[in-house]
Structure 1
Amino acid sequence: MASNTPYLVREQPPKALIYLLLVAGLVAITYAIIAQKLLIAVAIICLPIVILAVAYGFQNPYFVYLLYATYAFFFTTISRYTLKVKLSVGLDVILVYLSVSLLVVFYLKKTNFRLKDAVNIFTLSYIAWIIFILLQLANPHINEEGITHGIRIMILETFVLYIIASIVSNSPKVLRNGLVLVGIFTIIAFLKLMYQRYIGFDSSERYWLYVQEAAKTHILSTGIRYFSYFTDAGNFGTVMGAIATVYTIIGFNTRNRKFAIFYLSIAAMGIIGMLFSGTRGALVVPFAGLALYCLICKSIKTFAITIITGLCIFAFLAFTDIGNGNSFIRRARTAFRPTADASFNVRVQNRKEMAQYLKDYPFGIGIANSIPKLWLKQDLTYEEGTLPPDSYFVSIWIQTGIVGLVLNIAIYLITLLGCCYIVMFKVKDRYLRHELAAFTCTVFGILLSGYTGYAPGMPPTNFIIVAMIAFVMNGAYIDKQITQQKLTINKQ
């Protein structure tokens, strides 16, 4: 012990330097307060905490991954309240930080991470999309913005996130912590929803609604579409639909009573949030998710209960007018009677025009480009704006053509089939199987919602998809850890 003391002393910074930094910090804080530069004062006060957090993150990639998840959920809120745009670059910064953190722990060999976890159907199938996007960069119709978006988002950021998520999502503890963390995010979203519903929108939200003209799609004659702290009501509704699906399934299939109550409470908040969002397309998430769950749950009882419950809800919304006095139920019901909805008919007409235009562009019109809206007036064609893509997959179709759309859907289909196989045949623990089944089915529902909305391509929904698939891909390894834990407990 004595021989180590001089080494420990040498490793610590000199006291004089510590006192000097402390005095400098106090002087800077005093000046900032006197000059009424409170933001600078707060920044200086928080600086030591930030430095410690960054240092801790280099030793603990799990912490940085949770930081990424938090920012993915809330950076839109930060943008709305600071009136700053392009804050998504923060996701890139944290992703680089997370990559470096993993490299550090791998170099020091102080980790239980396995590089081979990064090689799975999820990551390998995306390589085909990367090759396709690289070919898209040669598209003569692509512009500078499209090239930047293609390289930065579609190739680098997405693929690196796929790899990192597959490496980090590797234990029952991380899975449980993730469910709790997203549950907390849901509680915050629900409280914000209640504030908007019963107190009203704050000044920043009113600015977004009325100055930036979001009210056109959120303040309707049929009622208000609430969005909580999310980008918009469509994204909010889809996420809440996903939350409702995941936490309902897991809540009814967990061994811990306290966690079951927590999960089912979060599920109830998700259902309420989905209805209050007024997003009809979000209804496909629980319906499609539960339908797939019936097929892979491997339980006749669960299959029967789920089918009966789903059919009852479907019959209530599709074949009755009960509850039409409630604007949220009335708007949700229109999802089952689409031809009577004006906005649906406009979408159908727009997509017909898109199909006609894209006949000559099998590889699309270029990343980040839009189809011009053309009008024929006295034998002359005029361009008046663009045709809105109106959904995630339609946007893919426009940018990359029918070839890109088919490839994109094929990649997701292969990944989902791989997830179903893992859940049904590779996971032995009953409770884990239900958790991973909930993830698989919810991803399926979210992707189907991409036909009517943008959510699958927007944060935090795109992160939720990645996180859930990554856990499923590591399902067999997590199951093995649970089995070992059980054997250890039995031996004791």
Structure 2
Amino acid sequence: MSYSQTNRIKTGAIKLESGLGILFLVGFGLLAAVMIVKVGLMAGFLLLGLPFVIGLLSYLWIDPKAGIWLSLIMGFLISGLSRYIVAPWGLTIDIFLFLSLLFSLINSSIKIDWKRTKNDITIFSLVWMGYLIFEILNPHGNGLVAWFYAMRGIGFYQMLSVPMIYLFLREEKHFYTFLNILIILSLAGTAWGFKQQLLGVDAAEYRWLWDENHHEEHVLHGVLRVFSFYSDAGQFGASQAMMALLTGILAVSPLPTFKRILFGILAIVFFLGFAISGTRGALAVPLFGGIAYLITTKNFKVLGVGFSAMILVFVILKYTFLFQGVEQVRRMRTALDPNNRSLEVRLENQITFGKYLADKPFGGGVGTAGFWGARFNPDSLMANTATDSWFVKIWAETGFFGLLIHISFLGYVIGKGGAVCMGLTSPKKKSYAMALYASIVGVIFSSYGNQVFGQMPTGMIMNLAIPFLFLIPHWPEEKK
């Protein structure tokens, strides 16, 4: 028997071509049909999905890092999917990350060099998660179930994903995979957003807007704030602004001409996506991210031109009525109004939290504010006072000490990331590092106005982007 014949016999797909295999497939289909008739449609679909689940588990067993990519993809999709099919989509991120780590530990064929995880970013992530575990003991919390749901986006995903980036995704090609996934899914988000803008929302989105009472923040003066398949318009706008900044910086970087043109086109598309979201807080992404980029260039001419452009935009929005006929510009202009009622309400809420937390240095407990607070204790002050800001949320739930740890970590990322960018000499490495760094800084500062940093997909993007930034200096040197 030849090698090809032997290999053919061992192939699972070939076995299904046999009479027994065909009989199995027919029997499986009939069983699914019976379950649909006798038990219900969902039971039949679950049975039909079983081979897919088995295949996915087999793939993750062989290649655990695929779970990281799947978690990133689901970070983009969970909010949109939940509008069409009610299911715990968010738990798919937990499952993929957990299985990736579990399979990498128990699959003896996968060799792990744990020394790669001995770095400052991993240590910060573990310390932060350790503090969140300590929060279980907070007597003001809503219980273990509320803590479990809420802590995932705050620190659990970070704790799982950061070490796995250092273990399995250290190479340059992995960064490009990360970048390509961001671009493709963000473009899909832009396209879906323009579909909403030009053709209107579909039945599921209409129900989400009006029956679930999201219209007050998404339909202003009869104009839709586009949210695409993201959690809301604020997250969509911030994500699109981040991608516009990232691709815009790459467009003016010393990269091959074709790539620069492509990145330039993408930057324009993403900027338009940001514009139709009507998100004022997302202005902080290009503003502070742009400042971070200009500083890391160490080019005073570029720095001067960049700051001049920012001042010009500020003056136009603050002191003129140019482009006032454009709804998106009018909305952005209100972000610079010191008498804006939205800003006043946010400041009032912060005063309320300040009084409540005066004798609570460890906060009100993880899972007591925002969505999870409203779900598990809807009559509490924490649940009925909007946090708005990501940092206010961290402060409210974890107290002064939690906020101190979290801000220390983010400050460290900003400081060390800037040093990494300025220390690189390779034009290619420096270009990608500065683009990624500016995006991270922009998201961090924009999180003061909205809960950008912890919401999906931005939360998952940041969990991967931060370790990727610090791995760029370890790429192999370019051939001269």
TM exceeding 0.5: yes
Query: How many angstroms does 1:308 deviate by?
Result: 2.9
Query: How many angstroms does 1:222 deviate by?
Result: 7.4
Alignment partners' CA distance in 2, 1:29 and 1:358: 55
Query: How many angstroms does 1:104 deviate by?
Result: 6.2
Query: How many angstroms does 1:282 deviate by?
Result: 0.5
Are residue 369 (structure 1) and residue 372 (structure 2) matched? no
Matched residue, 1:18: 21
* Deviation larger for 49-58 or 448-457: 49-58
Query: How many angstroms does 1:384 deviate by?
Result: 11
Matched residue, 1:476: 473
**Match of 2:394, as an amino acid?**
I
Matched residue, 1:216: 216
Matched residue, 1:77: 80
1:195-238 C-alpha deviation (Å, 9 max, x unpaired): 11111111111111111100111112273211111000111111
Are residue 141 (structure 1) and residue 144 (structure 2) matched? no
Residues 275-294 of structure 1: pairs in structure 2 closer than 5 A: 275-294=275-294
* Deviation larger for 157-166 or 280-289: 157-166
Matched residue, 1:379: none
1:29-71 C-alpha deviation (Å, 9 max, x unpaired): 6668999977777766665555444433332334332222111
Matched residue, 2:95: 93
Are residue 441 (structure 1) and residue 442 (structure 2) matched? no
Matched residue, 1:340: 339
Query: How many angstroms does 1:450 deviate by?
Result: 1.4
1:335-362 C-alpha deviation (Å, 9 max, x unpaired): 122x221111111122122222222222
Alignment partners' CA distance in 2, 1:443 and 1:185: 18
Matched residue, 1:108: 109
Gaps of 5+ in 2: 371-379
Task: Quickly say closer, same or farther: Cα 1:254–1:75, change in 2 above 3 A.
Answer: farther
Query: How many angstroms does 1:158 deviate by?
Result: 2.9
1:245-303 C-alpha deviation (Å, 9 max, x unpaired): 11111122252333323322221122112221111111001100010111112334543
Query: How many angstroms does 1:331 deviate by?
Result: 0.8
* Deviation larger for 187-196 or 138-147: 138-147
Alignment partners' CA distance in 2, 1:413 and 1:464: 18
**Match of 1:411, as an amino acid?**
F
Matched residue, 2:310: 310
Tell me, yes or no, if the aligned pair for 1:439 and 1:468 is still in contact at 8 Å. Answer: yes
Tell me, yes or no, if the aligned pair for 2:254 and 2:427 is still in contact at 8 Å. Answer: no
**Match of 1:307, as an amino acid?**
F
Alignment partners' CA distance in 2, 1:296 and 1:18: 61
* Deviation larger for 128-137 or 270-279: 128-137
1:49-101 C-alpha deviation (Å, 9 max, x unpaired): 554444333323343322221111001111111133x3211111111222244
Matched residue, 1:454: 451
**Match of 1:200, as an amino acid?**
G
SS at 2:348 equivalent: helix
Task: Quickly say closer, same or farther: Cα 1:104–1:174, change in 2 above 3 A.
Answer: farther
Matched residue, 1:378: none
Query: How many angstroms does 1:135 deviate by?
Result: 2.9
Tell me, yes or no, if the aligned pair for 1:250 and 1:260 is still in contact at 8 Å. Answer: yes
**Match of 1:415, as an amino acid?**
V
Matched residue, 1:162: 162
Alignment partners' CA distance in 2, 1:124 and 1:384: 30
Matched residue, 1:326: 326
Are residue 252 (structure 1) and residue 249 (structure 2) matched? no
Alignment partners' CA distance in 2, 1:383 and 1:365: 10
1:400-436 C-alpha deviation (Å, 9 max, x unpaired): 22222122111111122222222222x3321221211
**Match of 1:123, as an amino acid?**
T
**Match of 1:424, as an amino acid?**
M
Identity %: 24
Query: How many angstroms does 1:323 deviate by?
Result: 0.9
Aligned-residue CA RMSD in angstroms?
3.1
Alignment partners' CA distance in 2, 1:55 and 1:460: 26
Task: Quickly say closer, same or farther: Cα 1:445–1:25, change in 2 above 3 A.
Answer: same
SS at 1:336 equivalent: coil
Matched residue, 2:414: 416
Tell me, yes or no, if the aligned pair for 1:334 and 1:340 is still in contact at 8 Å. Answer: no
Matched residue, 1:401: 399
**Match of 1:406, as an amino acid?**
L
Tell me, yes or no, if the aligned pair for 1:288 and 1:444 is still in contact at 8 Å. Answer: yes
Gaps of 5+ in 1: 372-381
SS at 2:287 equivalent: helix
Alignment partners' CA distance in 2, 1:137 and 1:188: 39
Task: Quickly say closer, same or farther: Cα 1:9–1:180, change in 2 above 3 A.
Answer: closer
Query: How many angstroms does 1:367 deviate by?
Result: 1.6
* Deviation larger for 128-137 or 412-421: 128-137
1:96-146 C-alpha deviation (Å, 9 max, x unpaired): 2222443467x3257xx7543333222112233233223322222122144
Alignment partners' CA distance in 2, 1:204 and 1:11: 43
* Deviation larger for 292-301 or 23-32: 23-32
**Match of 2:73, as an amino acid?**
T
Tell me, yes or no, if the aligned pair for 1:133 and 1:150 is still in contact at 8 Å. Answer: no
Alignment partners' CA distance in 2, 1:120 and 1:286: 30
Task: Quickly say closer, same or farther: Cα 1:264–1:442, change in 2 above 3 A.
Answer: same
Task: Quickly say closer, same or farther: Cα 1:385–1:420, change in 2 above 3 A.
Answer: closer
**Match of 1:170, as an amino acid?**
R
Matched residue, 2:373: none
Alignment partners' CA distance in 2, 1:250 and 1:154: 30
Alignment partners' CA distance in 2, 1:384 and 1:6: 66
Residues 112-261 of structure 1: pairs in structure 2 closer than 5 A: 115-144=114-143, 145-149=145-149, 154=154, 156-221=156-221, 223-253=223-253, 255-261=255-261
Task: Quickly say closer, same or farther: Cα 1:52–1:261, change in 2 above 3 A.
Answer: farther
Matched residue, 2:427: 430
